[in-house]
Amino acid sequence: MKIRQPRDKFSERVLWLIKLRWLAVLGVFFTVPFATLFLKLPIKTPPILIIAVLLFLSNLAYLFLVSRAQKKEGADLSKANSKIANLQIFLDLTFLATLIHFSGGIENPFIFYFIFHMIIASILLSRKASFLQATYSVVLFSLIVFAEYLEVLPHYCLRGFVPATLHSNILHIFGVSFVFISTIYIAVYMASSITKILRKREKDLEKANLMLNEKDRIKSEYVLRVTHDIKEHLAAIQSCIEPVTEGITGSLNEKQKDLLFRAEKRAGKLLFFVRALLEITKIKLTRELKLAEFSFRESMKGILEDINLRAKNKNLNFNFELDPAIDKVRGVRLYIEEAILNLLANSIKYTPEGGEIYFEAKGSKDIILIKIKDTGIGIPEEDLPHIFDEFYRASNAKEKEKMGTGLGISIAKKIIEMHKGRIWVESEKNKRTVFFIELPICL
Ligand code: ADP
């Protein structure tokens, strides 16, 4: 199975340039009939349309190159993308210069479109490469203008738009060339200076983010050690109380029994909370998932049986639909089961007797869409934005159910995000709650 490298910011920008080029192709196709039919300009249509087709084909080729670079395991993605970006700008400048030549040369106001390429080059490429591309633009521009002036190349005059003698007026040629060349270099200087500042800021932010992550990791390791110790002690306290409350160590009077039962209940609640805290901390500290292929259908069947039983005990109506097309999934089975179980367990917890719970999993080519619906207490609108925060519990949930950690759905969210999936919720207070999960089939 091929693993696609994650898209970095550079790849995103290269793809953005490819998208822009589709617009440019459309622009050329529409401008030609407009200029010839409405403005009645004598433009050489066939070569211009050929260039538009070449631009279209080159864009397809860039798409292919980008996706090939992404699929190549172990390849230096940023180096490959930088080469593709350099090639794109180089060819774009060549196509633009050819277009300008066939549509009036120095008389064509579109010569200033070279500036767009300079700005794009400054965003995508290094400063040195941007200046090299600027120099290439100047060379192309000078070649067209002077070759047409010296009649080495034919001149296609935009008769009716400008005086027919402009391309042979040396004063005009020098004037426009001076403005063109200075604009090109100034544009690259300004755009690359701004990009340099922004790149530095981006790097600083990345560094700060790394530092924060490292601090968070140290904190999580500390929490892990402490919760682990607390859990051991709590379990020991529980195992000491149990034989006493069960009467193994002798009979107790009512007052002693009551106090010990309360202590046992509190220790149980605390143990439940500490276990959830331990679980989320362990998940946070997981650096690499041990992925394996497993049958999603089989794993869900086990969970759904368990939930069916729990729902029956609470007099809830439970229905489910499991798309028969879903089978193999790549991920950590135990984690995915835990995420889904947490959500279903919540539906049972927060739906009053007689209510309904519904589970649905539908498969498409790359993802599984899971829906968990209930007709329970719902989540108040003001709590919805915080509902995935650790330890957060909505006010109505606290009133209804004293037992809760506010960690169940944060754990589910962490697990789903580690599998590069998405989780979100829609809810209406006292009406319904629907959790949605989008889970990629192959990581
Ligand atoms: P807990 O249930 O232990 O409080 P969770 O992290 O599982 O913690 O859930 C966090 C909060 O989200 C809950 O306290 C509740 O307010 C809300 N919630 C989650 N699932 C549901 C649901 N199915 N119906 C209503 N509220 C829900």
CA–centroid distance, residue 404 to ligand 1 (Å): 8
Please give the Cα distance from 355 to 400 (Å, whole number): 15
Question: Could you tell me if the CB of 376 is within 6 A of ligand 1?
Answer: yes
Residue 212: count of CB within 10 angstroms of its CB: 10
Of the ranges 3-7, 284-288, 309-313, which one carries the lowest mean pLDDT score?
Answer: 3-7
Please state the three-class secondary structure of 252-265 as a single string: CCHHHHHHHHHHHH
* Minimum CA distance residue for ligand 1 atom 7: 408
Sheet holding 317-322, edge to edge: 317-322, 356-363, 367-374, 432-440, 422-428
Q: How far apart are the first and last CA of the chain?
A: 10
**Which whole number is the average pLDDT over 81-93?**
92
CA–centroid distance, residue 262 to ligand 1 (Å): 25
Atom of ligand 1 nearest to the CA of 409: 6
More confident of the two residues 77 and 112: 112
Task: Please say if the pLDDT value at position 161 is more than 80.
Answer: no
Q: Which residues of 373-398 are buried (b: 16+ CB within 10 A; e: fewer)?
A: bbbbbbbbeebbeebbebeebbebbe
Q: What is the pLDDT of residues 180-230, one digit of tens each?
A: 999 999 999 999 999 999 989 999 999 999 999 999 999 999 999 999 999
Please give the Cα distance from 207 to 185 (Å, whole number): 32
Predicted local confidence at residue 167, as pLDDT: 79
Predicted local confidence at residue 73, as pLDDT: 64
Predicted local confidence at residue 8, as pLDDT: 67
Among 346, 384, 426, which residue has the most ligand 1 atoms within 8 Å of its CB, making it the best to mutate? 346
Among 359, 387, 434, which residue has the most ligand 1 atoms within 8 Å of its CB, making it the best to mutate? 387
Please give the Cα distance from 44 to 159 (Å, whole number): 12
Question: Alpha-carbon dihedral of residues 257, 259, 262, 266, nearest 10 degrees?
Answer: -130
pTM above 0.85, yes or no: no
**Which whole number is the average pLDDT over 333-350?**
95
Predicted local confidence at residue 2, as pLDDT: 39
Question: Could you tell me if the CB of 89 is within 6 A of ligand 1?
Answer: no
Q: What is the pLDDT of residues 243-300, one digit of tens each?
A: 998 888 888 899 999 999 999 999 998 999 999 899 889 988 887 888 899 999 999 9
Please give the Cα distance from 412 to 421 (Å, whole number): 11
Predicted local confidence at residue 5, as pLDDT: 44
CA–centroid distance, residue 393 to ligand 1 (Å): 6
Question: Could you tell me if the CB of 394 is within 6 A of ligand 1?
Answer: yes
The three-class DSSP label of residue 69 is helix
Question: Could you tell me if the CB of 379 is within 6 A of ligand 1?
Answer: yes
Q: Where does 150-252 have alpha helices with state H? A: 170-245
Please give the Cα distance from 235 to 271 (Å, whole number): 7
Predicted local confidence at residue 442, as pLDDT: 78
More confident of the two residues 39 and 415: 415
- Report the mean per-residue pLDDT for the chain: 90
Which residue is associated with the tokens 């209940």? 265
Q: How far apart, in Å, are the Cα atoms of 340 and each of 222, 248, 288?
A: 28, 40, 21
Task: Please say if the pLDDT value at position 120 is more than 70.
Answer: yes
CA–centroid distance, residue 409 to ligand 1 (Å): 7
Question: Could you tell me if the CB of 406 is within 6 A of ligand 1?
Answer: yes
* Minimum CA distance residue for ligand 1 atom 3: 404
